[in-house]
Amino acid sequence: MDRLNNERGFMLLNVIFLTLITSFAAMILMNALPRVKNPQSVLRLTAIHLANEQLAMIESKAAEGELNLNYLGKPEDLTTENFSENIPITFNVTSTDKPNGNLHDVTVKVEWTVDGRENFIELERTIRVVPKE
């Protein structure tokens, strides 16, 4: 009888540890599930990153006295493979300008298409072009 009581305590610890491990694994899976189910959020974050990067590069060129609205990033950054069905998604980055003296209201638009649906984001920033001396 004494040996049976010791084994019951050991089994209880096993059950507790198994429950903790299972709960931890379930939390990890539940956090990963929205990323797998909704890749649009990942694509939207990628588009926002591309737009911010483009605006930063335009600002850098403007500090040198040049306003260059062409895409200034790496061409390989415009395609992503992080879609759940491994379908490559291509982003199109365009920039427009509304000049007002040395100040320019620059809008960067990033577009992409998924399942025949066109998506886009637009970011705008006022940029001062420093005249060359």
User: What is the reported pTM?
Assistant: 0.68
Average pLDDT score over the chain: 81
Per domain, the residue ranges of the chain are: 1-37, 39-128
Asked if 73 and 53 touch (Cβ cutoff 8 Å), the reply is yes
pLDDT class of 123 with cuts at 50, 70, 90? very high
- Residue 95 carries which side chain, given as an amino acid letter? S
> Can you tell me the distance from the alpha carbon of 119 to that of 48, in angstroms, rounded to the nearest whole number?
12
pLDDT band of 9, cuts 50, 70, 90: low
